[in-house]
């Protein structure tokens, strides 16, 4: 399929709300076309000076329109795509576009594994003294967690490309395990530093009977 493009250094996961401020003429034209023709557009992820994957966006609402034509809009992220071809300007348009291949995703996951991931998130939040809101098993998938667990931009981009839910949850679980381990070590080191910063009485070694080589 062919999509107009709105490239950003941002990652949006399927199902996510997408708030955007539109101010460039080319993107004003893009949003006007989306409203007139009920079409979707794509947000390719600009990362490491390349664009390869992105997310299809459906316009939901133009929230505000300003005197100069700028707009605040809300969209919803739909499907992830891989870019097949790229045109810097689509025919008779100011904005870019290209052919994309929509990726097939599944959302099937074992409840026991989902529960395991939730417990890890709860543990992480506890270590960071961040309030944790209980998550119902049936109300989340890997994408709903993605922005809430401290993934780097590069890690979020990796997650975007994983088609199977169990593989995505495994990716998240591994990240949580590593992060918790690092934070535990940091906390241990912090306590050691605090302990060694106090004056203490030590029993000196008795060197009687010890041979010095």
What are the extents of the domains in the chain?
A: 2-102, 111-196
List pLDDT tens digits, range 79-101.
999 999 999 999 999 999 999 99
β-pairing, 2-4 vs 17-22, is unpaired
DSSP 182: H
Q: Residue 139: what pLDDT?
A: 83
- Secondary structure of residue 156 in the 3-state scheme: helix
pTM, to two decimals: 0.84
Cβ–Cβ < 8 Å for 77, 56: yes
Q: DSSP states of 19-47 as a string?
A: EEEE-SHHHHHHHHHHHHHT--EEEEEEE
- pLDDT of residue 11 exceeding 90, the answer is yes
Q: What distance in Å separates the CA atoms of residue 97 and residue 89, rounded to the nearest whole number?
A: 7
Distances from the Cα of 102 to the Cαs of 21, 53, 65, in angstroms? 26, 10, 32
- Tracing tokens 């994957």 back to the chain, one arrives at 53
- Tracing tokens 């099937």 back to the chain, one arrives at 108
Q: What distance in Å separates the CA atoms of residue 19 and residue 59, rounded to the nearest whole number?
A: 10
DSSP 87: B
Question: Would you tell me the crossing angle of helices 153-160 and 165-196 to the nearest 10 degrees?
Answer: 160
Region of poorest pLDDT, from 14-28, 133-147, 195-209 = 195-209
**Stronger pLDDT, 117 or 206, i.e. the higher one:** 117
Work out whether the CA dihedral 146, 148, 153, 154 comes out positive or negative. Answer: negative
CATH topology assigned to domain 2-102: 2.30.130
Q: What distance in Å separates the CA atoms of residue 145 and residue 170, rounded to the nearest whole number?
A: 13
List pLDDT tens digits, range 131-180.
998 888 888 999 999 999 999 999 999 999 999 999 999 999 999 999 99
Which one, of 121, 114, 151, lies nearest residue 136 by Cα?
114
Cβ–Cβ < 8 Å for 72, 61: no
């Amino acid at each position: 399929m062919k999509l107009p493009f709105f490239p950003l250094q941002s990652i949006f996961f399927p199902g996510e709300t997408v708030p955007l401020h539109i101010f460039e003429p080319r993107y004003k034209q893009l949003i006007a076309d989306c409203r007139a023709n009920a079409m979707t557009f794509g947000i390719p992820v600009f990362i490491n000076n390349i664009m390869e994957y992105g997310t299809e966006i459906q316009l939901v609402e133009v929230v505000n329109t300003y005197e100069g034509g700028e707009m605040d809009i809300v969209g919803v992220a739909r499907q992830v795509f891989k870019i097949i071809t790229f045109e810097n300007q689509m025919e008779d348009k100011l904005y870019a576009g290209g052919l994309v291949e929509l990726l097939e995703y599944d959302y099937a996951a074992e409840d026991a594994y989902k529960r395991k991931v939730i417990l890890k998130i709860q543990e992480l939040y506890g270590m960071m003294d961040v309030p944790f809101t209980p998550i119902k098993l049936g109300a989340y998938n890997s994408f709903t967690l993605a922005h809430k667990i401290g993934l780097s931009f590069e890690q979020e981009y990796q997650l975007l490309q994983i088609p199977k839910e169990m593989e995505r949850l495994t990716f998240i679980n591994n990240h949580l395990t590593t992060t918790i381990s690092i934070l535990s070590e940091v906390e241990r080191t912090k306590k050691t530093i605090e302990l060694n910063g106090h004056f203490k009485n030590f029993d000196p070694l008795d060197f009687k009977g010890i041979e010095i080589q």
